[in-house]
Amino acid sequence: MNGINQKEAAVMQAIEGLYDAYAADLYRYLLFLTHDAALSEDLLSETFMRAIGALSAFRGESSEKTWLFGIARNVWLSQLKKSKKLSGDEPLADCLSVSVEEIAENRALIDRIKTLMNTRSETERTIFWMRADGYAYAQIAARCNIHENTARVLFSRVKRWLTDTLSKEGFL
């Protein structure tokens, strides 16, 4: 391989590592911002396209995850401007302050969900988190060595228990 191909290979390997490590978290963040699965997937792709272009400029002043989330946020803001969901009269800070408040509320909810889920069996936790990450029941069943219907039933029970518990605690 010549120098250019080695450099390109190194960049692609770095991006693949970043994708493997952070794509699921970035997707959930973008889904939270957009409430649209297809748009979130598009924005995720755009985030990594921009990251490829900016990888050589990454100075390491923040973590890779923070850097990628910043890119994702900027991609989302660009999308807002393009789709004219953000009017020219509305200050950008007003739009972002609402999102920051929502994120803070969601963090408390997520922390509580994690605490509650730690009281469940390992199988139930695995099923719940895999389903939350978008895995199909067949994939979950294969991972847990159970039947697909068992995965569905266990997820349903845990989800119902979690919803009831969070409702009683005032989170929902």
List Cα–Cα distances, 163 to 111, 134, 152, 158, in angstroms: 14, 19, 16, 8
Question: What does residue 151 show for φ and ψ, rounded to 5 degrees?
Answer: -60, -40
Cα separation, 121 vs 133, in Å, equals 18
Instruction: Determine the pLDDT at residue 86.
Output: 47
Instruction: Determine the pLDDT at residue 57.
Output: 75
pTM of the model: 0.47
Instruction: Determine the pLDDT at residue 61.
Output: 77
Task: Give the burial string for 21-30 (b: 16+ CB within 10 Å, else e).
Answer: ebeeebbebb
Residue 59 has pLDDT above 70, yes or no: yes
Percent of the chain predicted with pLDDT > 90: 25
* Domains (range + CATH), the chain: 1-90 (1.10.1740.10), 92-172 (1.10.10)
Q: CB of 80 within 8 A of CB of 95?
A: yes
pLDDT, tens only, 62-98: 788 888 888 888 888 888 877 765 445 455 455 554 4
pLDDT, tens only, 121-163: 999 999 988 888 778 889 999 999 999 999 999 999 999 998 8
Q: How far is CA 19 from the centre of its chain?
A: 12
The rounded radius of gyration (Å) of the Cα atoms in the chain is 20
